Amino acid sequence: MALVYRLLKNSTGVLLAREVQLVRDKLVVNFENIPNHATAIFECGGKECYRSLSEQSGCSVPASFLDGIVKVTVAILDGSARPTKWICEALTAERQEDGSVFVAPDDTNLPQKVADLQTENDALRGRVDELDKSLENLKTRIQTMLEGYDLV
């Protein structure tokens, strides 16, 4: 079974399933909505693992690489100074005595994510209220402009 990330338009990537995986040999990771020439970058304990992505498939990461918090980033490494990238949800990897690794979504920052979403939601609601007021003002101005005209 593979982990599946969906890359979003806001430059983030989210895991579609929040299940714990038992990895013995390699962790298979698939990505949805990946652009051409994308590369997955896995960072763990100061080490980095780069995997080229194709449109049809994802990639795999050896179990020996996984230990602790694993940061996942997808980037288009085209030589530009500021490459397009998606910061994906991190993973937590816990080694077992038999050499296998438990891999799960890193939900340690979940309260912060909820707070950020609530703040963003409040800002959007405020903006919608401002637009409603602007629309009302516009309607009023149009109504006063048309008051002297006899419209058929």
Q: Of 8, 34, 16, give the one whose Cα is nearest residue 105.
A: 16
pTM of the full predicted structure? 0.70
Residue-wise pLDDT tens digits, 102-147 = 999 987 777 777 888 889 899 999 999 999 999 999 999 888 888 8
Reported in sequence order, the residue ranges of the chain that DSSP labels E, i.e. its strands, are: 3-7, 12-15, 21-23, 26-32, 38-44, 47-52, 59-62, 68-76, 85-95, 101-105
- H or E segment at 115? helix 110-146
pLDDT > 90? residue 10: no
Phi, then psi, of 63 in degrees rounded to 5: -60, -30
pLDDT attached to residue 134: 95
The answer to whether the CB of 63 falls within 8 A of the CB of 23 is yes
Q: Is 119 helix (H, G, I), strand (E, B) or coil?
A: helix
Of 30, 18, 28, nearest to 74 (Cα)?
30
What pLDDT does 51 receive?
A: 93
pLDDT of residue 95: 92
Q: Give the pLDDT of residue 61.
A: 93
φ, ψ (nearest 5 deg) of residue 99: 95, -10
- 21-31 confidence digits (pLDDT tens): 899 999 999 99
d(Cα 115, Cα 126) in Å, to the nearest integer?
Answer: 17
Note the pLDDT of residue 112: 78
Boundaries of every domain in the chain: 3-106, 109-152
54-77 confidence digits (pLDDT tens): 766 689 999 999 999 999 999 998
